[in-house]
């Protein structure tokens, strides 16, 4: 496997792409947009790009490397393609590193065709090897709760499939679309909203003809000004494939800006190479939403990756899924949002965990999200306070939920409640006039 096959072709080891709810059309490699009058193909799949320079891992990470991957050179460890090839995916791989609990062991054995396990060696280094309650571990290693479908849960709770005019393109809001470009992820979060696309099917991969259908749909709908690339994780794809898609979208006049949603900077910071950043900056205005979960994810490697993206002029926003036993307390969330600001990432959304089948053991009550936002508001800078949102079942879209700050009206005044619970009267006669 080389850079050009990551996220686009079958992996070694016998994992075959199988059709999920989206149709595989063919395996045509991407074709660059016409330049100087002629379309041309980029490097053949057997041709490797120049490896990025090796970077010394931080001490804790390097200790893990020497203990569990003593054969790996620092250059290999720093190579994102090596990290993908060495992902931990099987029970024996997990047991080589972690002391699995009985529940974890039985859940991994019972996975069958459900959401597979996938953990990069780098990210495994951040996980406590003996504590089954370690926050990051709860997001990566399955538990028996995954096999219980509770009330209100569904494989596609957001009804994305119902809003797909063409395979892989979700058009739910008037002016923007979600363009799924791969179902390949570097790691598989146990609360994944799109577990249905990778769970029972193995890792399914898109191709040029399928991309063309999505691009043509966007081109023929001038009301679309914002395209979010997601999946799967788009940054698992080669630079060439990402650029092919971005360049095609960038050429559509009514598309005003592009975004990518990714967890790669967190679980595979080695992927954020200077070459990738130099390529992405060619498609401004371009934004990146990064999926963070816990303050222990903010390592020197991640700070370096985010700094590299920010230096390329890319606005960075964090999307956090509120998850039981991971980040469902004010102190943890405070450390996370302040840590994000320090590495130039603006906390953007806290998501209520979607009701996917088998997620009840990870979800929290809505009131927990309000409690956390109330615990942040006024105690940290406003830049560090994300909006708490529920993605409504059935395709209702993201709905913000706020702590109660408007206590009511008293004649020509409105009564407001601040972060300490104190109330204040705000003179507001114009509203009175309009009501009259």
For the annotated catalytic residues, the residue numbers are 172-173, 176, 185, 189, 192, 194, 354, 391, 398
Please tell me the distance from the alpha carbon of residue 252 to that of residue 233, in angstroms, as a whole number. 23
Q: How far apart (Å, rounded) are the C-alpha atoms in residues 335 and 66? A: 29
CA atoms within 13 A on the CB side of 113: 8
Q: What's 35-52 look like in SS3?
A: ECCEEEECCCCCCCCCCC
Q: How many CB atoms lie within 10 A of CB 407?
A: 13
Can you tell me whether residue 298 is helix, strand or coil?
coil
CB atoms within 10 A of CB 379: 13
Rounded CA-CA distance 334/373 in Å is 10
User: What sign does the CA torsion over 319, 210, 276, 284 have?
Assistant: negative
Q: Backbone phi, then psi, for 100, in 5-degree steps? A: -75, 140
Coil/strand/helix, residue 253: coil
What six digits make up the tokens of 394? 């059935």
Nearest CA among 123, 85, 74, 72 for reference residue 5: 85
Backbone angles phi, psi at 242, to 5 degrees: -60, -45
Exposed (0-12), middle (13-18) or buried (19+): which is 129, by Cβ within 10 Å? Answer: middle
**Up-side HSE of residue 234: CA atoms within 13 Å toward CB?**
29
- Nearest 10 degrees: CA dihedral of 261, 325, 68, 63? 90
């Amino acid at each position: 496997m080389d850079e050009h096959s990551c996220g686009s072709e079958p992996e070694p080891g016998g994992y075959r792409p199988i059709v999920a709810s989206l149709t595989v059309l063919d395996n045509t490699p991407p074709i660059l947009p016409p330049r100087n009058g002629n379309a041309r193909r980029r490097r053949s799949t057997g041709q490797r790009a120049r490896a990025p320079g090796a970077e010394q891992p931080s001490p804790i990470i390097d200790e893990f490397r020497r203990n569990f991957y003593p054969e790996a050179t620092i250059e290999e460890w720093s190579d994102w393609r090596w990290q993908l090839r060495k992902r931990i995916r099987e029970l024996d791989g997990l047991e080589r590193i972690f002391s699995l609990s009985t529940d974890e062991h039985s859940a991994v054995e019972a996975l069958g065709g459900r959401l597979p396990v996938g953990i990069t060696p780098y990210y495994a280094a951040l996980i406590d090897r003996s504590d089954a309650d370690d926050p990051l571990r709860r997001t990566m290693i399955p538990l028996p709760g995954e096999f219980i479908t509770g009330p209100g849960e569904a494989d596609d709770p957001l009804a994305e499939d119902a809003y797909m005019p063409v395979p892989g393109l979700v058009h739910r809001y008037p002016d923007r679309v979600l363009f799924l470009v791969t179902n390949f992820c570097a790691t598989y979060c146990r609360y994944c909203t799109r577990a249905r696309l990778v769970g029972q099917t193995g890792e399914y991969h898109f191709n040029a003809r399928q991309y063309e259908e999505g691009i043509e749909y966007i081109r023929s709908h001038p009301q679309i000004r914002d395209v979010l690339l997601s999946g799967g994780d788009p940054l698992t794809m080669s630079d060439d494939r990402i650029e092919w898609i971005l360049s095609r979208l960038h050429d559509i006049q009514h598309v005003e800006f592009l975004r990518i949603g990714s967890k790669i900077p967190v679980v595979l910071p080695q992927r954020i190479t200077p070459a990738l950043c130099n390529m992405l900056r060619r498609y401004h205005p371009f934004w990146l939403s990064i999926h963070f979960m816990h303050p222990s994810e903010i390592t020197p490697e991640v700070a370096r990756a985010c700094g590299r993206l920010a230096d390329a002029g890319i606005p960075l926003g964090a999307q956090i899924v509120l998850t039981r036993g991971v980040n469902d307390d004010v102190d943890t969330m405070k450390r996370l949002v302040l840590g994000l600001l320090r590495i130039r990432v603006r906390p953007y959304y806290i998501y209520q965990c979607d009701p996917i089948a088998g997620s009840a053991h990870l979800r929290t009550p809505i009131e927990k999200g309000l409690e956390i936002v109330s615990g942040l508001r006024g105690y940290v800078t406003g830049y560090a306070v994300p909006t708490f949102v529920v993605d409504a079942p059935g395709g209702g879209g993201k709905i913000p939920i706020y702590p109660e700050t408007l206590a009511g009206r008293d004649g020509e005044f409105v009564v407001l409640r601040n972060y300490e619970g104190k109330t204040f009267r705000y003179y507001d006669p114009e509203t009175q006039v309009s009501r009259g």
